[in-house]
Amino acid sequence: MTNTNVAERAPKRAPRKRLRFDSFRIGPLVLKIALLASFNAIMAFLIFVLATQGSWGIVVGAVALAIAIDVIYLSKRMLPAKYITPGLVFLLIFQVFVIMYTFYIAFTNYSTGHILDKDQAIQSLLSQNQARVPDSVSYPLTVVDGPNGLGFLVTGPEGQALVGDAETPLAPVEATFDGDKAVATDGYTTLKFADVLQVQDAVFTLVVPVSEDPNDGSVRTLDGSSGYQYVSNLVYDETADTLTNTTTDVVYYDDGNGVFEEQDGAELLPGWTINIGLQNFERAFTDSSIRGPLVSVMIWTFVFATLSMLFTFALGLFMAIMFNHPRMRGLKVYRIIMVLPYAFPAFLAAMVWSGMYSTSFGFINRVLLNGADIPWLTDPTLAKVAVLIVNLWLGFPYMFLVTLGALQSIPEEIQEAARTDGASPWQVFRQIKLPLLLVSVAPVLIATFAFNFNNFNVIYLVTGGGPRISGADIPVGHTDILISLVYKVAFTGQQRDYGLASAFSIIIFVVVATISIISFRKTKTLEDIN
């Protein structure tokens, strides 16, 4: 046997694989790790902030979300989830969370005077009722800028340096002294006199707690160089959970409604946020000063949404039929003209229409009606007509485009067969075109109704919801729809009732969801018939 045969029969060794650093694979991996690291850093900071505020429910959700995203994008077996996850995250944050938070607020007394929690409310009450301690000595004071903004560096009675700000009570620190005055300390920037003058309003209103006990008062300054101790004439008894006015000896109790109240009913504001169950919904449907305007607004909302949908559909369909005739010349020009209101920004058009409706100077009264004195925006009925006209102007071009496309998609053979059988143009339209058109357009009509049900812009920009309904406890007008009513209750007036506004929002959500479900079922029935 030759050496050659032995060599041929010997098993061949597999060539040693060399490690190759493929930049096309390493690059995306590094980018993924960097993005996940950035995401985790942001989530860690968010979780820390939420934990310090005591929002434990949101903390648990944020931790679960962070873990889920890390698992999905670090796993090799969850490829479909990697594409779905971004959309789901945005859905959770901007839809699900908003709806859940609205539900939460609807069951609380969250409103003007009830925004803080109880500890913050007590601090605020004690701070509001502070007065300078009589014959109190002044403390050398230096205005400093630190992690929480402006603060005071104070030299105490025994010569020790103390620093604090609006969020942190005074605490001992090592400081640099100029004579008997502390002028600098680590972590804070000393403000010079010229710097103090630039922020003097903030300096003179700054309140720095003396200690963790709110009854010890606070330090304030009147000139930026000397501090004075202020003590509240209210004293909080943590054991009895009461506030006592040391001047009048009146005692205020926690009445369970999120406010301190004395026996004759007088309240101390601000109060705090508490859960009140279904009280906001009970107010909406049982309080006569709210129920009447709410029912009126709800009826008008349905009328406004329905008529807007029908009018825009009717006018858009009419225009589509008119400009779908093959023998008409200049169709492209006419169609461009028809969609101009749709191309014009809606909020600008609404503002222009509002000016045109002016009683004294509007184009409609002065020019079109030859100087007539018609109160378009101050009469309840005319204001509703004016809003419908504006919404018709803004909405019919969209319906024109939709119905024009639907008409052009109907097969010509069906129409020719009907004409051959002797059907009139009206019969062709009513029995062939319209049913086929409704099958295509019905979802658009449902969406148009839902859109106009919450069409805040037209109402707010044209009439502002006015004219005002007299005798109502909430700021509401004759042309307000539910969504503009929610805005007014939550963000206008002296009493901003976010809890009641959230209850109204839930009512809107339930109504629109119910109508949409019923409408889509009817649409499905219509498709089955055809």
CA dihedral 166, 167, 173, 178 (to 10 degrees): -10
With vertex at residue 502, the alpha carbon angle to CA 500 and CA 504, rounded to the nearest 5 degrees, is 75
User: Are residues 302 and 257 located together in one domain of the fold?
Assistant: no
- Give domain status of residue 18, yes or no: no
% helix, strand, coil for the chain, step of 5: 55, 15, 30
User: Are residues 260 and 135 located together in one domain of the fold?
Assistant: yes
How many residues are listed for the chain in this entry?
530
Nearest C-alpha neighbor of 42 from the set 23, 62, 57: 62
How far is C-alpha 421 from the chain's CA centre?
58
Using CA atoms, how far residue 336 sits from 342, 344, 381, in Å, is 10, 12, 34
Instruction: Take residue 73 and report the two structure tokens written for it.
Output: 């994008």
User: Are residues 399 and 523 located together in one domain of the fold?
Assistant: yes
For residues 220 and 348, give the distance between their C-alpha atoms in angstroms, rounded to a whole number: 49
CATH of the domain at 349: 1.10.3720.10
For residues 500 and 108, give the distance between their C-alpha atoms in angstroms, rounded to a whole number: 9
For residues 86 and 70, give the distance between their C-alpha atoms in angstroms, rounded to a whole number: 13
For residues 405 and 437, give the distance between their C-alpha atoms in angstroms, rounded to a whole number: 10
Instruction: Take residue 239 and report the two structure tokens written for it.
Output: 């054991």
Tell how strand 251-254 and strand 242-245 pair up: antiparallel
For residues 90 and 71, give the distance between their C-alpha atoms in angstroms, rounded to a whole number: 18
- Give domain status of residue 13, yes or no: no
User: Are residues 336 and 452 located together in one domain of the fold?
Assistant: yes
User: Are residues 457 and 487 located together in one domain of the fold?
Assistant: yes
- Give domain status of residue 7, yes or no: no
SS3 at position 223:
coil
Cβ–Cβ under 8 Å, residues 226 and 141 = yes
- Burial, 145: exposed, middle or buried (Cβ in 10 Å; 0-12, 13-18, 19+)? middle
- Within 323-433, residue ranges assigned H as helices are 331-338, 340-343, 346-356, 363, 380-408, 412-420, 425-428
Per-position b or e across 217-232, b if 16+ CB within 10 A of its CB: bbbbbeebeebbbbbb
Q: Which residue has the tokens 């045969």?
A: 5
Q: Where among 106, 139, 160 does a domain terminate?
A: 106
User: Are residues 448 and 499 located together in one domain of the fold?
Assistant: yes
Q: Where among 55, 78, 106 does a domain terminate?
A: 106
Greatest C-alpha distance within the chain: 124
- Burial, 465: exposed, middle or buried (Cβ in 10 Å; 0-12, 13-18, 19+)? buried
Look up the pTM and report it. Answer: 0.76
- Give domain status of residue 4, yes or no: no
- Give domain status of residue 111, yes or no: no
User: Are residues 218 and 129 located together in one domain of the fold?
Assistant: yes
- Give domain status of residue 255, yes or no: yes
For residues 156 and 372, give the distance between their C-alpha atoms in angstroms, rounded to a whole number: 76
User: Are residues 100 and 146 located together in one domain of the fold?
Assistant: no
How far is C-alpha 465 from the chain's CA centre?
20
For residues 429 and 417, give the distance between their C-alpha atoms in angstroms, rounded to a whole number: 13
User: Are residues 42 and 86 located together in one domain of the fold?
Assistant: yes
Count: domains in the chain: 3
User: Are residues 161 and 192 located together in one domain of the fold?
Assistant: yes
User: Are residues 45 and 160 located together in one domain of the fold?
Assistant: no
- Tens digit of each residue's pLDDT, the chain (530 residues): 455 554 455 555 555 555 454 555 676 778 888 888 998 999 999 898 888 877 788 888 889 989 999 888 888 888 888 888 888 888 888 888 888 999 999 999 999 889 998 988 988 898 888 888 777 778 899 999 998 899 999 998 888 999 999 889 999 999 999 888 999 999 999 999 889 989 999 999 899 999 888 888 899 998 888 998 898 889 999 889 999 998 888 999 998 889 999 988 888 889 999 999 999 999 988 888 888 888 999 999 999 999 999 999 999 999 888 887 767 777 778 777 877 787 788 888 899 999 999 988 899 999 999 888 899 999 999 999 999 999 999 999 999 889 988 888 888 888 788 778 788 878 888 888 888 888 888 889 988 998 999 899 999 999 999 899 887 778 899 999 999 999 999 988 778 899 999 999 998 888 888 888 887 777 666 555 55
Domain of 476, in residue numbers = 286-529
The beta strand positions in 216-336, using DSSP E, are 218-221, 226-232, 234-237, 242-245, 251-254, 260-261, 267-268
Q: Which residue has the tokens 């902030």?
A: 49
User: Are residues 338 and 479 located together in one domain of the fold?
Assistant: yes
- Give domain status of residue 14, yes or no: no
Cβ–Cβ under 8 Å, residues 398 and 316 = yes
Per-residue model confidence as pLDDT tens digits over 304-326 = 999 999 999 999 999 888 887 76
Cβ–Cβ under 8 Å, residues 233 and 250 = no
- Give domain status of residue 473, yes or no: yes
Nearest C-alpha neighbor of 505 from the set 483, 526, 521: 483
Using CA atoms, how far residue 215 sits from 120, 123, 127, 251, 274, in Å, is 14, 9, 10, 15, 24
For residues 149 and 189, give the distance between their C-alpha atoms in angstroms, rounded to a whole number: 10
For residues 184 and 191, give the distance between their C-alpha atoms in angstroms, rounded to a whole number: 10
SS3 at position 104:
helix
Kindly state the helix (H) or strand (E) to which residue 149 belongs, with its residue range.
strand 149-155
Q: Where among 59, 83, 106 does a domain terminate?
A: 106
